[in-house]
Amino acid sequence: MRYQDIKTGLISLFRHDKLDGCMDSEWGFTNGTDREVTKIGYATNLTPETINEAVKYHAELIVTHHDAWGFIYGMKEKCLSLLKESDTAHAFFHAPLDDADFGTSSSLASALHLTNHRKAIPYEEKFLAGVIGTLEQSADFDEFGKRLSHILAEPIKTFKNNEKPIRKICVVTGAGNMTSDIKIAVDNHCDTYLTGEYNLYSQQYAKFAGINLMIGSHTNTEIFGVSELVQRLIGNSGMEAVRLAEENY
């Protein structure tokens, strides 16, 4: 598939009102090309390591959730240099992918078999970055923790703050460590809050409010949405997709 067709296809997967007016840090394309793309590498983060992985697999395009962060001083410039040197294109969708019906939180919720999940947790002015859903059958705390760890393919941290069976869960992938976000889950009578980051305040508030806290890595909680985005793009086009190895920060 030609790069310009891929670019059009990616944009078409999102609602235009969610893309219009976004800051440049929320979605975009870098180092565009006019050639045929036969292989896409995907990851949560754009880093020198993921670019080198893409080169190793001869991927002409990298699709990520995050662009290289400008506040990780010097890394964005290094990534731009590597993309240019290797003639590799890059596309990223941050807030629009968090908000999408197939996005980061929704895709992880589906992997956990949450039913009737609906979007929640406001992000900036027009996005919703989390979902609330219900397990078909309630689960024991330890049993569900093991299930989550298996799905994320990594050890997780768990804080048991009530004696209820796990049933209603708020999933906020990535940086869901704000107490204001957890409060929305509490106000919606969730028994468990699942996210990709935590801090002193989120631990204290979860304990005070009596809501279980389960934490995976920012990277692995969000990769499901990136994978779903790429699979929807590829469809039956014959293009190949490869997940690029990255640290599970």
Q: What is the mean pLDDT of the chain?
A: 96
Q: Looking at the structure, tell me whether residues 85 and 106 fall in a common domain.
A: no
Residue 58 pLDDT more than 90? yes
Q: Looking at the structure, tell me whether residues 53 and 105 fall in a common domain.
A: no
Q: Looking at the structure, tell me whether residues 114 and 205 fall in a common domain.
A: yes
CATH number at residue 78: 3.40.1390.30
* For range 36-57, the mean pLDDT: 97
Q: Looking at the structure, tell me whether residues 145 and 235 fall in a common domain.
A: no
Structural domain contains residue 111: yes
Structural domain contains residue 248: no
**What DSSP letter does each residue of 88-111 carry, written as one string?**
-EEEEESHHHHHSTTSHHHHHHHH
The pLDDT tens digits for 191-206 are 999 999 999 999 999 9
Higher-confidence residue of 34 and 58: namely: 58
Share of the chain above pLDDT 90, in %: 94
The pLDDT tens digits for 122-140 are 998 899 999 999 999 999 9
Structural domain contains residue 152: yes
Q: Looking at the structure, tell me whether residues 104 and 212 fall in a common domain.
A: yes
The pLDDT tens digits for 228-237 are 999 999 998 9
Question: How do beta strands 27-30 and 240-243 pair?
Answer: unpaired
pLDDT value of residue 51: 98
pLDDT value of residue 160: 98
* For range 143-150, the mean pLDDT: 98
Strand (E) positions, the chain? Answer: 27-30, 39-43, 61-64, 89-93, 114-123, 127-139, 157-159, 166-172, 192-195, 212-215, 240-243
Residue 59 pLDDT more than 90? yes
Q: Looking at the structure, tell me whether residues 211 and 102 fall in a common domain.
A: yes
Q: Looking at the structure, tell me whether residues 87 and 141 fall in a common domain.
A: no
* For range 60-75, the mean pLDDT: 97
Structural domain contains residue 249: no
- How many structural domains is the chain composed of? 2
* For range 149-166, the mean pLDDT: 98
Dist. CA 178–CA 159, nearest whole Å? 16
pLDDT value of residue 125: 84
Structural domain contains residue 48: yes
Q: Looking at the structure, tell me whether residues 111 and 199 fall in a common domain.
A: yes
Residue 190, domain extent: 98-220
Length of the chain: 249
Structural domain contains residue 151: yes
pLDDT value of residue 25: 87
Residue 35 pLDDT more than 90? no
Q: Looking at the structure, tell me whether residues 209 and 238 fall in a common domain.
A: no
Residues 33 and 96: beta-carbon distance below 8 Å: no
Q: Looking at the structure, tell me whether residues 189 and 227 fall in a common domain.
A: no
Assign 22 a pLDDT band (cuts: 50, 70, 90): confident
Q: Looking at the structure, tell me whether residues 30 and 77 fall in a common domain.
A: yes
Q: Looking at the structure, tell me whether residues 197 and 232 fall in a common domain.
A: no
